Amino acid sequence: MEPVLFVLISCIPLVEIASRPRIARNVTHPVNSLWVAFLYFGVLQPVSASNEWEAAFGKELFLLTLTAFLCAGAAIVAGLRSSSAQRFASGLPLLARHLNPHKLRRLGQIVSVVGISSIVYLMIVAGGAEEFFSESRLKIDYENSNAYLLELKQLPHIGLLFMILGSSKAGRLEQLMIMLFAFSDLLWVFYIGSRSQWIQVGVYVIVGYSVSKGRRPGVWLTGAYFVILALGVGVITQYREQFRMLNIQTEGTADDGIEEVLAKAISTFSGSYEESSTQAQEVRLGGEFGMTISMLKVVPEMTEHDLGTLLLEYATRPVPRSIWPDKRYPEGEAWDRFHRIAGTSEGTPNPVGLVQGPAPGLVAKYYYMWSWPGIIIGGYATGVLMSFLYFYSLRHTQLARALLVCAFVMVGFAEMNNPLMLGYGWLPTTGVPLALVFLLCRKERALSRATLLANPEVVRV
């Protein structure tokens, strides 16, 4: 039964891509990043340690979890093929017909400076540069840092995207400076050990430069580039605990050559590298498949379904604690309840006493809220969302379309990794700067003389 389920799960995105080659060739379609995450969470993670999963949770629960991924994949395809998304996208007004590339570059510089300033602020709150860089992944004083300024630390990435997209009309010196900033941003996210930001900046660079030159990134070139990004993710996973004091602390790995580094990086995805018992525990419970199988084990036998109350976080999160000292965190409380029972997080509680854990994944989160119907509803809604973003961006032209394509390209991966979080992560770091672009960087083209003569009604006296 196991091999059959693995084949069926794998066939869902493969058949969908084969039956719609136009989308497959368009690597910037947000659903392509979703399918990458779907295959990784639903096939590669369970295959790489299937014996361990069955030993820890039992074969019946293992097969049930695979069935949940199968149902989610089928629902996503149904949503993608729904005509409602295209009709809705066609009915919405365009955000802008034309954008000024010079203004876009300048706004990108401003946004980047704001983001870098927030990082400097976090450094000061932490006690200076030495304290800030003394721990892997940076030492951030969450208790004394302003939560709103904390969210701004990722702004340099979207600022970089704005500068890349507006660089086609820039001088050579400015283009060189933008390239240096892109390289620096990649080094920064690699050093701080953020896999999601590493992927985000990497995608912004290749997609941004491709679409700014008026062409889609080639499939083979994009594939090779993403292999490099994947290896980077593997290296970050294996070595990020050693990134401290703006250097790589080599204790215990001084003899690691390039072959050993690559072997460890590949083992992140294959599970073939020998791990310690602690790492094995993290692999079993910390991944998205681990969260899903743990969810099916715990809910509803040990704790009840959330029934969507975690979505109340959208109403409570914007309220400052200065106004609401005993502020509630519905989503944090929901996951705290689950993690304490399932044992999926060994981290210490955050400043408000809630235990945080890994990203739950689409299947686990919708099951937690509404059981098996939730998986179907969530998968279908996600498919509709991907289709809507694709068709709506296609309605725009030139720079406006390029900007929307780059902003939406990783939404599929984000929704598969942790759905319904666009309002927390994507909105403040990408959505708000995007709105500023369309508000401040519009370029109204002057009507030609021929247009005026052919349409005299547009001439105002």
> What is the mean predicted confidence (pLDDT) over 241-250?
72
For residues 417 and 25, the model is more confident at 417
Model pTM?
A: 0.82
Task: Read off the DSSP letter of residue 168.
Answer: G
| Residues ≥6 apart with Cβ < 8 Å to 41 | 69, 287, 288, 289, 292, 361, 363, 416
3-state secondary structure 381-395: HHHHHHHHHHHHHHC
| Confidence tier at 219 by pLDDT (50, 70, 90) | low
> What is the mean predicted confidence (pLDDT) over 330-357?
85
Q: Which tokens hold the place of 283?
A: 């692999």
Per-residue pLDDT tens for 108-131?
A: 999 999 999 999 999 999 889 888
Q: In the chain, what are the domain boundaries?
A: 101-277
Report the DSSP beta bridge partners of residue 243: 248
What is the pLDDT at residue 171? 86
Lowest-confidence segment of 69-78, 328-337, 388-397, 448-457 by average pLDDT = 448-457
Q: Which tokens hold the place of 323?
A: 């106004």
What is the pLDDT at residue 274? 42
Q: pLDDT over 70 for what percent of the chain? A: 87
| Confidence tier at 66 by pLDDT (50, 70, 90) | very high
Q: Are 5 and 67 in contact, with CB atoms under 8 Å apart?
A: yes
What is the C-alpha to C-alpha distance for residues 228 and 216, in angstroms, rounded to an integer? Answer: 19
Lowest-confidence segment of 248-257, 263-272, 313-322 by average pLDDT = 248-257
Per-residue pLDDT tens for 147-190?
A: 778 888 889 999 999 999 888 778 889 999 999 999 999 999 99
Closest Cα partner for 61 from 290, 278, 360?
290
| Confidence tier at 228 by pLDDT (50, 70, 90) | confident
What is the pLDDT at residue 384? 95
What is the pLDDT at residue 445? 52
| Residues ≥6 apart with Cβ < 8 Å to 221 | none
Per-residue pLDDT tens for 30-52?
A: 898 899 899 989 998 898 888 88
Q: What's the chain's average pLDDT?
A: 83
